[in-house]
Structure 1
Amino acid sequence: MPIRWGDMDAMGHVNNTVYFRYIEQARISWFDLVACTPDPAGEGPVIVNAHCSFLKQLKYPGEIEIRTFVGPPGRSSFEMFHQIRMVGADGNPGELHAEGGAKVVWVNFPAEKSVPLPNAICKLLPPQKLLPGK
C-alpha cells in the first residue's frame, strides 16, 4: 500500500498511530479474504489488544508491504501478527520497518460476549504456533 503524504507528522516520518491503521487494513483485508467480516446483528471478530514495535522510520514517498500471519485457534480467539516492510525500487519487499499484531476474539455482538470460533475459521488457522518472532 502507498505511504501517503498525510501519514507523516511534524517530525518528517510516518506517525506512530498510522502504523496501527496499516495493520488494521491488513487485518480487515485478511478478514475479507477468508469471509469472516463482522455482522453487527450476529457474530464476528473484534480485537482486544494491539501492539506494534517501531524498528525503522517510514517516510513519504514510498510503498509498503504488510505480511500477515495467524496463530492457532483458542476457544474463542487467535493471534494475528504483521510485518511492515518498505518496498524497494526493484519492487521487492526489503527491510523490516515494524512488526505488530492483535488478539482477535470472536463475539456475539447483541449479547456482547465471546463465543467459540466457528469451525470454518478454526480450519484456516495453524494447529500450533508458527508466528515469526514467537
Structure 2
Amino acid sequence: MTRKLVHTMRMPIRWGDMDAMGHVNNTVYFRYIEQARISWFDEIACTPNPEGEGPVIVNAHCSFIKQLKYPGEIEVATLVGPPGRSSFEMHHEIRLVGADGQAGALHSEGGAKVVWVNYPAEKSAPLPAGLRELLGSES
C-alpha cells in the first residue's frame, strides 16, 4: 500500500510513561499515536463535531520493536493510505530522537482505520472533498 507522509511531531518521554519493568508501558505507545493523530486532525481542521460529522477510529494496532526509556524524546511520523468512500488507513512510526546509537531507529509502528461518520445518524458518510484531496485522491 502506498503511504503519504502528512505530519510529524516530537514529544518528550515522561517519567510516568514507564512501568515497573523500567521501559515505556505498551499502552502509552497508543497515547503517543493518539496525540500525533489528533495534532494532525487539528492542523487540517478535522476536529470532530458531535452534532455533525467527523472521524472515528474503528481499530488500532501497534508493534513494539525496541524499548523506549525515560529520559528521551520521540518523533512520531503520521502517514496515510489512499481513501475509500468513507475511510482511510493511518500509519505511525515512532523513532527516538537524540545522539545515541538508537536515535533515528524505528522503535514502534502502528496505525488505525479511520471512518468518517455522521454522528447523529451513527452511520458512515462519504469523506469530505478537502480531506479526500489531502489524502491524495482526485475523485
TM > 0.5 between the two? yes
Q: Distance in 2 between matches of 1:94 and 1:52?
A: 18
Percent identity at matched positions?
82
Q: Distance in 2 between matches of 1:95 and 1:74?
A: 31
Q: Equivalent residue of 1:123, what SS?
A: helix
Question: How many residue pairs get matched?
Answer: 125
**Corresponding position of 2:53:** 43
Cα displacement string for residues 60-86 of structure 1 (whole angstroms, at most 9, x for unaligned residues):
000000001011110000000000000
Q: Distance in 2 between matches of 1:51 and 1:37?
A: 22
RMSD, aligned α-carbons? 1.1
**Corresponding position of 1:21:** 31
Residue 126 of structure 1 and its aligned partner are, at CA, apart by 2.5
Is the 1:70–1:126 Cα contact (8 Å) retained in structure 2? no
Residue 89 of structure 1 and its aligned partner are, at CA, apart by 2.8
Cα displacement string for residues 41-72 of structure 1 (whole angstroms, at most 9, x for unaligned residues):
11000100000000000000000000010111
* Counterpart check, 1:111 vs 2:111: no
Residue 33 of structure 1 and its aligned partner are, at CA, apart by 1.0
**Corresponding position of 1:8:** 18
Is the 1:68–1:81 Cα contact (8 Å) retained in structure 2? yes
**Corresponding position of 2:41:** 31
* TM superposition score normalised by structure 1: 0.90
* TM superposition score normalised by structure 2: 0.87
Q: Distance in 1 between matches of 2:112 and 2:63?
A: 12
Which ranges of 4 or more aligned residues in structure 1 deviate by more than 4 Å? Answer: none
* Residue segments in structure 1 that go unaligned for 5+ positions in a row: 128-134
**Corresponding position of 1:102:** 112
Q: Distance in 1 between matches of 2:16 and 2:38?
A: 21
Q: Distance in 2 between matches of 1:116 and 1:66?
A: 28
